[in-house]
Amino acid sequence: MTLHLAVALDGAGWHPAAWRADGARPDLLFTAGYWADLVVEAERGLLDWVTFEDSLAVQSTRHDSPDGRRDQVRGRLDAVLLASALAPLTTRIGLVPTTGVTHTEPFHVSIGIASLDHAARGRAGWRPRVSARPHEAAHFGRRTFPPIDPAGPTARRHIERLLREGVDFVEVVRRLWDSWEDDAEIRDTATGRFVDRDKLHPIDFRGEWFSVRGPSITPRSPQGRPLVTSLAHSALPYDFAARTSDVVYVTPRDADDAAAVVTEVRAAETAAGRTGPPLKIFADLEVYLGPPGRRARLDDLDGATHVSDAHVFEGTPEQLADLLLMWRASGVEGFRLRPGVLPHDLPAVTRGLVPELQARGVFRRAYETTGLRGRLGLPRPPSRYVTAS
């Protein structure tokens, strides 16, 4: 069975000094051409999908405020629009942008991702992201968030509430995706009706935080429901993923931990009463491929040891292939690799790791599907509003 491989794109790479590496092209980070080169390379490597990070605040080494640093990449483009600009330049690779769900409108996000799916002809995904950051809330001025004290009980309650609000947000988005049945557009010249209004459904969502009427303004997209993916490090977000997502990115330290995380995620699914296909569990890894010492040299440039929330791998593509297969035996189905330095580690993945995995018979030699759901073996679901008649 093929192993699944996604790559996470962000700035010049995941090391804070990546932008200073040879070939990094930091002056082009805000141009379409820079991203087009990366995504075309990822597609050449037959990767499942690429993700685009995003947030509604400037990057910071702190959790609760900007850090004022000028020696790291600051600023980024809106991920949905960026993904959309890459859609016509590619044909097979999945495009998965991140959007915030704490300060935005589910209606806008729903039609944005559905529109990406239309433009990409069935290759859109989405990563909803909750934000507890007080400075991000200040950009909207609608609510005041408490300072983040990770140890304190306030922070936990705050995050718990935001995650529950996030669950509602994703539910609204998903209902809006279903609010047009696939065959709602009839163009019936005999009766003069363009749509069959019985196939358009108000979603009438009413929740603790907001209510949304529907239906969507955007017809059902090629995948019906674009792939929802989320990042989770602990129990609360596992629950969020179990309730909202098709895929969860997790961050185990090693193969044993991966097995433990898989058990925890499966338990969260049961506890949440999840129906439908189980979560696809992907492990996140930050990767530095090639000669040893690359990461240390970047740390020197940055003046600090870079700490990642994910396991950091340093070594050869062969060693990485060994690790992936070992972790897979622990129950993860795929991986999202975060290249330490994009211009170096992305091609090392597509031209080093991928051929190695192909040689071992565990990775595709050609794309078999165009749609992103199909690539994971997920069916195209009918709208939940279809009534048997």
Partner 1 sequence: MTEQIHLAAHFPGVNNTTVWSDPRSGSQIDFGSFRHLAETAERGRFDFFFLAEGLRLREMKGRIHDLDVMGRPESLTVLAALSAVTTRLGLAATVNSTFNEPYEVARRLATLDHLSGGRAAWNVVTSWDAFTGENFRRGGYLAEADRYTRAKEFLQTARELWDTWADDAVTADPVRGEFLREGGVTPFRHTGRHFDIQGLFNVPRGPQGHPVIIQAGDSDEGREFAASSADVIFSRHGRPEEARTFYRDVKRRLAAYGRRPADLKIMPAVTYVLGDTEAEAAECAAEIRRAQVSPANAIVFLEGVWGRDMSFCDPDGPLPDVEPELGEGVSRGRAQFRGDRAATAAKWRAVAQEKNLTIRELVIEMSARQTFVGTAASVAEQMTSFVRTGAADGFVLVPHLTPGGLDELVDQVVPLLQEKGVYRADYTGTTLRDHLGLRSPVKETS
Which amino acids are annotated as binding site, given as ranges?
54, 98, 158, 234
**Residue 24 Cβ vs partner 1, minimum distance, rounded to whole Å:** 7
**Residue 314 Cβ vs partner 1, minimum distance, rounded to whole Å:** 22
**Residue 260 Cβ vs partner 1, minimum distance, rounded to whole Å:** 36
Q: Which structure tokens are listed for 312?
A: 């950091």
Given a contact cutoff of 8 angstroms between Cβ atoms, the answer to whether 267 and 300 are in contact is: no
> Which residues are annotated binding-site positions for FMN?
54, 98, 158, 234
Could you tell me where the beta strands, DSSP code E, fall in the chain? 4-9, 49-52, 94-100, 125-129, 185-188, 193-195, 205-206, 211-212, 227-231, 247-250, 280-289, 311-315, 334-339
Question: Which of 6, 86 has the CB closer to partner 1?
Answer: 86
Q: Which structure tokens are listed for 204?
A: 């009438």
Question: Which of 289, 341 has the CB closer to partner 1?
Answer: 341
Residue burial 280-293, b: 16+ Cβ < 10 Å; e: rest:
bbbbbbbbbbbeee
Given a contact cutoff of 8 angstroms between Cβ atoms, the answer to whether 325 and 360 are in contact is: yes
Question: Which of 94, 214 has the CB closer to partner 1?
Answer: 214
**Residue 75 Cβ vs partner 1, minimum distance, rounded to whole Å:** 5
Which residues are CB-neighbours of 243 under 8 A, at least 6 positions away?
167, 170, 272, 274
Q: What are phi and psi of 300, to 5 degrees?
A: -60, -45
**Residue 283 Cβ vs partner 1, minimum distance, rounded to whole Å:** 29
Question: Which of 72, 251 has the CB closer to partner 1?
Answer: 72
Residue with tokens 């002056």: 27
Separation between Cα atoms, residue 40 and residue 346, nearest integer Å: 11
Question: Which of 110, 245 has the CB closer to partner 1?
Answer: 110
Q: Which structure tokens are listed for 169?
A: 């947000």
Question: Which of 166, 317 has the CB closer to partner 1?
Answer: 166
Please name which of 99, 7, 78, 1 lies closest in space to residue 49, comparing C-alpha atoms.
7
Question: Which of 93, 114 has the CB closer to partner 1?
Answer: 114
The number of angstroms, rounded, from the C-alpha of 64 to the middle of its chain's C-alpha atoms is: 23
**Residue 72 Cβ vs partner 1, minimum distance, rounded to whole Å:** 6
- Backbone dihedral region for residue 180 (phi beyond 0: left; psi -120 to 50: alpha; all else: beta): beta
**Residue 352 Cβ vs partner 1, minimum distance, rounded to whole Å:** 25
With H, G, I as helix, E, B as strand and everything else as coil, classify residue 212: strand
